[in-house]
Structure 1
């Protein structure tokens, strides 16, 4: 394991003046995950490969139990593959020690879980600001940035409320703001609009569009929602441990 510091890099963006394609933000090759269940090995992902470029939004669909959440956990460094590699902005997650990996996730990866995982004792504002405070940003600056994101997801009036005082949809919007507050290179989303009404879901899609266009942030979205999947640049189906292209083109 390396002890080197993670560099403070900027997002890789393609120049609008050239025909060069955007940089590859996420790349995985031969990604395999095998679990031991009693006397048997169960292969969930089987030599899967994937590339997602800066500013690209990719939806992953598939039946329950097909391995979508396992894939997200591997892409986010929350689990280790049995075989294969995951690279984000050119950095191999497997080459990072546990402390480095936590540091890297804080700067490069945003997570939106199917269930929000907000801290019950903190307000919405404090939950969103926390990743920046962990990074070392002063509280006042972190909370200022957090208020900007809460406003973008329509939660500014509820910033000082704790999760127990919010509806399920409101908690999910706070979780989305928390994932985006660090300006990540890659955002991983597990059913991000599942608890949102149609109007709020549309506002989240618009925010994703803006971030993909202006910051080169890449998105991988796991969903059962056909409308959410259709809104992405590509739709991939996970089946039999492999990804297949279902649709391209936005």
Structure 2
């Protein structure tokens, strides 16, 4: 063996290589029933879903089919009537409210349809907030947030508050905020709904990069056929159940 070969640095596994074959999100028998007057209304009925590390899954369905309810259950914002959700192997039902909050901060990124940015904070402060809540210093948190704002094309607007931003700009800040913690799972509710075609393409490119280089999994609720078709799998939610949709040309 040559000296050069012996002295070469050992291969450093990427996060994606370390997570190869890992199931990042798994749910079984997921059921959510609401009481409405004398009746029980079942929105989700024994639903099952498995998403691997680095995989991107789109969920489509008609309005009122339960897509947002599903996202809330997957993110631990609501508790199922029956069934189980596991993220990175952790059953959410085993976590109390405080522990669940800490788990969400470390493992789950959310992109809501209506942004939920804090009006009194600038774009960079909003994007950095999850890291500050975790306990990271303000300077380090904002440096990481600026890197994400740069990737979504919002660095020039970093010092502006939400009231000074357009709907599309606020959405890009929300996306940066969701990604700033390097989450295991990102849940997105119509993430490109307020974006022009060029900006939406940039967000898709960023998602492609993260899926390729990290173990982050994505679950994306959308009415946009082009956004859904860009993902690895498309699932349709109908009558409380998920069914996989065939790929075009398959």
Normalised TM-score (structure 1): 0.92
SS state at 2:44 partner = strand
- Gaps of at least 5 residues in structure 1 are 1-10
Tell me what 1:63 maps to. 62
Q: Is the 8 A contact 1:14 1:23 kept in 2?
A: no
Q: What is the match of residue 114 of structure 1? A: 113
- How far apart, CA to CA, are the structure 2 residues paired with 1:13 and 1:103? 24
CA distance in structure 2 between the partners assigned to 1:63 and 1:14 by the alignment: 37
RMSD: 1.6
Provide Cα deviations, 1:188-217, integer angstroms capped at 9, x if missing partner. 000000000000000000000000111110
Work out whether 1:225 is the aligned partner of 2:224.
Answer: yes
The answer for unaligned runs of 5 or more in structure 2 is 1-13
Taking the aligned partners of 2:55 and 2:21, their CA distance within structure 1 comes to 9
1:158 to 2:145 alignment = no
Q: Name segments (4+ residues, structure 1) moved above 6 Å.
A: none
Distance in 2, Cα, partners of 1:143 & 1:170:
18
Residue 99 of structure 1 corresponds to which residue in structure 2? 98
State the distance in 2 between where 1:237 and 1:147 align: 36
Could you say which structure has the larger radius of gyration? 2
Matches within 5 A, 1:14-25: 14=17, 22-25=21-24
Q: How much has 1:126 moved relative to structure 2?
A: 0.2
Equivalents in 1 of 2:68, 2:15: separation in Å?
Answer: 27
Determine the C-alpha separation between the residues in 1 that align with 2:231 and 2:145: 26
Which residue does 2:10 correspond to in 1? none
CA distance in 1, matches of 2:170, 2:66: 26
Q: Is the 8 A contact 2:16 2:212 kept in 1?
A: no
CA contact (8 A) 1:25 1:88 kept: yes
CA contact (8 A) 1:109 1:188 kept: yes
